[in-house]
Amino acid sequence: QKEVEQNSGPLSVPEGAIASLNCTYSDRVSQSFFWYRQYSGKSPELIMSIYSNGDKEDGRFTAQLNKASQYVSLLIRDSQPSDSATYLCAVETRGGNKLTFGTGTQLKVEL
């Protein structure tokens, strides 16, 4: 079992729709969770962090965390073509600060 799993996609949504990206992780003691956006040929850009169960909203983005189910998700409301990118889920593993990444979900927002 991979430590952090994501559906590779591509996930295609029409412009203006809600995009839902999902991630599961295997290490129950993980405490910190992050979503990064990566455009092709560019570096990962942090868009959300979440540490507690529940929802965290920031503009059009909402991160959701369920530690009992070992599940974290990212919702993007009013999707725009500029949101088309690969979204990486990252989990801070035990032992201090290093991040374990999923392989990413490619999102395509279509006009």
Partner 1 sequence: NAGVMQNPRHLVRRRGQEARLRCSPMKGHSHVYWYRQLPEEGLKFMVYLQKENIIDESGMPKERFSAEFPKEGPSILRIQQVVRGDSAAYFCASATGNEQYFGPGTRLTVT
* Residue ranges binding partner 1 (CB under 8 A): 32, 34, 36, 42-46, 49, 51, 88, 90, 92, 95-104
Reported as half-sphere exposure (CB side, CA atoms, 13 A), residue 90 has a value of 19
Of 17 and 49, nearer to partner 1 (C-beta) is 49
Query: Closest CB to partner 1 among 17 and 100?
Result: 100
**Rounded to the nearest whole angstrom, what is the least distance from the CB of residue 103 to partner 1 in the complex?**
4
Vertex 20: Cα angle to 80 and 110 (nearest 5): 35
Q: Min. distance of Cβ 46 from partner 1 in angstroms?
A: 6
CB of 32 to partner 1, least distance (A): 5
